[in-house]
Structure formats: C-alpha cells, structure tokens
C-alpha cells in the first residue's frame, strides 16, 4: 500500500512541497504530528492540494495543515493506514530519520571509531592515559573531534601514528625526521603542521604538561623526549669553558670554540673559571674581554636550544651566570628570556650610565616589543628606550663592561 501511495504522490507535482514540509516536521520533532505551512501556493499546487485535502486551496494562499488533517483524508481513501516512515523513505529514496536519532547514531558511530583506535593500540604503554582524552571535555578532544568531522580516515591514521610515536620515545638524542620516520613519513612532526601540533597536544596530555605557546617551547618540549630538530646548525660560541679533553685543551690554548647542540648534549658536565660565566649578545665583545681570563658565551642574537642546554648544564654545576646585551628592544628581549629561564642569572650594566653612549634611532614597531618585558632589572632601560626611542649598543659600553667583570672577579 505504501508503494502505491508513493507512486500516486509522485504523480502529483503539486504535492511535492507538502511532502517536504511533512518530512521536515518529522525530522525536527521525531513524531508524525504537528502542523506545517506552505506559503504562496502556485497554480499547480492549488489544484493538487485541493483534490488531495478535499478543500479549496487558492493560488497565492498560505496553507497551514496538520498531520491529523492529512491522515484523515488519506484514511478516507484506498491508501488508509500508511506507514509515514516507510512512505518518506520510498518517496525521498533514502532513509529519513529524526534529527535526534541522527545525532544519537552519529555520536555512537564516533564513539565506536575511537574505541577501534584504542583496541588497535591496546598494548601501547600509554594507552590508559591516552584513553582518558575521550572521557572528559578537554582541548585535545576538541581538536580531535574537529579533525574527525573533517576526515575520519585522516584523523584515524594520525592518531594511530601518534600512538606509535609515543610508544617509541627515544632513549638517546634523535633527530626529528628520523623519529618521525617511524610513521613512514619523515615530515609527520614538522613544526606547526597539523599532525605535529596534535602529537604535541597528546604528548602534553600524557605528560600532564602545558601545551607550548611558541616554536621555541615546542622545540624544547621535544628535547624532553630526546628529539631534536637540528643539532648541527644550532650552535653557540664559547671561550674558556671546560667539559671534556678537547674542550679543556682549547681552553688552555685560549681558543674560541663553536659548540653545536650535538656537542653540548654529548658532554655531560661543563665548568667555568671561578664558577662564573659572562654571556654577551654580540661576538665583537669577545676580543675585548679575552684578556680578563674569564669564561665567555656569545648568544649571537636570540637564544637557541644549544645555548639553553649549555646554560642549563652550567647552572646545574653551580656556575653563576651573568648577562649583558644591547640596550635596544631586541637586546632587552634576550635579557628577559634568559632571566625568566634562569632566575638567578645576573643582568649587569643596565644602569642609566650604560645608556649614555653612542645611540641609534629605534622604530615604533621595535618599541612596541618592550610592552611584554616585565623584569625589574630591565625597567629603567625599558623606560629610557620608550622615552628617547634611541638604542645603545654594548660595543660602545666596553669600558664599563670590563670594569664590572674586573670588580666581580676580585
């Protein structure tokens, strides 16, 4: 009977909008009840609707009709006792379900999808911790759900690869592309790619760590699991540091040594003359302080991972750290970063007297960078820069720098 009814309805083009409206009402409320509205009735619709409903429906009218009215007319015909669910499926040639049921099915399908991933990785060392992602509302799950809606196949592969990586965290320093190659794709962990960001989010969840805010923090987080982006071009300039046979010999010969990240990682302990290290921003300072027979490190601009690793080892060995850089926004940012990383680090030659040397105009863009610097020892220099918009470079302050070192070494 349902098929005959559908054939009849399809033979009446003027009933199409009525069927659409009845279907939409069912999808919305999940019941075959309520009323529907069809606005601005056309000529064809007027004829077909009038015949079907047994009442006059004029052209340009706005029709309001209930399921009960429609059912009453159908039951007065040979098509009585139709099944609306089956009728909708046949008429629209696809399964028509209420929105609530669709949502329930979608939710169940997604839950089963995640369950399959958990079951597939049941022997993973961190699977219990990983499974907690799906048991509470958290940022990692929000990202996963967003990616799931975009492509189930893609996110499924990524999650399996991430679990594979986490189950194989290296015990010795390993290059990022080599570690990523476990997945079959050496670029899987390239910084700031979607797969890399999701890996870091999952890693942070498992480690109960804060998600990194910037690229440096991302790289630093990777070092915590022995993964390094580039241990060779990442280097730091040093003078008179000791740590192994070669470094000790270079120190005795007063030779400048470039240590890359790999070198730093392979030397367990570093030491300095009198347990004090003087850190400078610019390589040109080195010649001026060599004669003072002190241990020196040059950052050559913004701190990199090799520098942080080296300072960390010196710091752990009881060495005192001292830093001086340019009196410009970029120089103060470097000083701020180092002070935040190593709170006991001493910032020196940042007094007003150190700002009166040769000066250079600073752009407004650079001045705006000072807003995020909140280190007490840098406040005076920060305000002088904001007020005067003039920079002073450490090469012009060598005399006072050397005086500080001499006094400090007494």
Tokens of 342: 């190593």
What does the pLDDT read at residue 400?
A: 94
What does the pLDDT read at residue 357?
A: 59
User: Whole-prediction pTM value?
Assistant: 0.58
Per-residue pLDDT of the chain (410 residues; tens, 9 = 90+): 789 999 999 999 999 999 999 999 999 999 999 999 999 999 999 999 999 999 998 999 999 999 999 999 998 888 888 999 999 999 999 999 999 998 898 899 999 999 999 999 999 999 999 999 999 889 999 999 999 999 999 999 999 999 999 999 988 778 899 999 999 999 999 999 999 999 999 999 998 888 988 888 898 788 888 888 877 778 899 999 999 999 999 999 999 999 998 899 899 999 999 999 999 999 999 999 999 999 999 998 888 888 989 999 999 999 999 999 999 998 999 999 899 989 999 999 999 999 875 667 888 888 988 988 999 999 999 999 999 999 988 888 999 999 999 999 98
> CA-to-CA distance for 260 and 282, rounded, in angstroms?
17
Give the tens place of pLDDT for each residue, 359-376.
Answer: 678 888 889 889 889 999
> CA-to-CA distance for 126 and 163, rounded, in angstroms?
8
What does the pLDDT read at residue 409?
A: 93
What does the pLDDT read at residue 383?
A: 94
What does the pLDDT read at residue 209?
A: 85
Neighbours of 188 (CB within 10 A): 22
Q: Which residue segments constitute the domains of the chain, with CATH numbers given? A: 2-96 (no CATH), 100-228 (no CATH), 235-408 (3.40.1360.10)
What does the pLDDT read at residue 154?
A: 95
């Amino acid at each position: 009977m349902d098929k005959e009814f559908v054939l009849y309805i399809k033979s009446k083009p003027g009933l199409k909008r009525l069927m659409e409206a009845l279907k939409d009402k069912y999808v919305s409320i999940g019941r075959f009840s309520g009323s529907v509205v069809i606005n601005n009735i056309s000529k064809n619709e007027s004829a077909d609707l009038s015949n079907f409903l047994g009442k006059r429906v004029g052209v340009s009218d706005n029709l309001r009709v209930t399921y009960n009215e429609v059912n009453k007319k159908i039951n007065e015909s040979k098509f009585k006792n139709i099944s609306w669910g089956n009728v909708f499926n046949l008429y629209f040639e696809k399964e028509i379900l209420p929105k609530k049921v669709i949502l329930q099915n979608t939710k169940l399908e997604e839950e089963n999808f995640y369950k399959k991933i958990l079951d597939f990785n049941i022997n993973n060392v961190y699977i219990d911790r990983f499974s907690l992602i799906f048991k509470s509302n958290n940022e990692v799950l929000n990202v996963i759900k967003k990616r799931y809606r975009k492509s189930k196949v893609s996110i499924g592969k990524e999650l399996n690869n991430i679990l594979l990586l986490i189950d194989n965290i290296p015990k010795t320093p390993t290059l990022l592309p080599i570690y990523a190659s476990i997945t079959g794709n050496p670029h899987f962990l390239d910084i700031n790619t979607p797969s890399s960001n999701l890996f870091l989010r999952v890693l942070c969840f498992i480690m109960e760590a804060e998600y990194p805010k910037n690229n440096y923090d991302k790289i630093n987080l990777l070092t915590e699991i022995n993964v390094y982006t580039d241990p060779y071009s990442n280097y730091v300039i040093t003078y008179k540091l000791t740590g192994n046979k070669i470094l000790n010999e270079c120190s005795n010969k007063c030779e400048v040594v470039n240590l890359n990240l790999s070198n730093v990682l392979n030397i367990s302990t570093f030491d300095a003359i009198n347990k004090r290290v003087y850190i400078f921003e610019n390589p040109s300072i080195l010649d001026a302080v060599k004669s003072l027979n002190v241990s020196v490190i040059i950052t050559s601009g913004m701190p990199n991972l090799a520098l942080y690793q080296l300072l960390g080892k010196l710091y752990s060995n009881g060495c005192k750290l001292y830093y001086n850089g340019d009196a410009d926004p970029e120089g103060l940012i470097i000083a701020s970063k180092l002070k935040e990383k190593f709170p006991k680090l001493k910032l020196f030659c940042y007094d007003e007297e150190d700002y009166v040397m040769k000066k250079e105009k600073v752009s407004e863009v650079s001045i705006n960078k000072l807003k995020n610097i909140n280190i007490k020892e840098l406040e005076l220099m920060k305000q002088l820069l904001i007020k005067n918009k003039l920079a002073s470079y450490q090469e012009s302050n060598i005399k006072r720098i050397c005086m500080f070192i001499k006094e400090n070494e007494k």
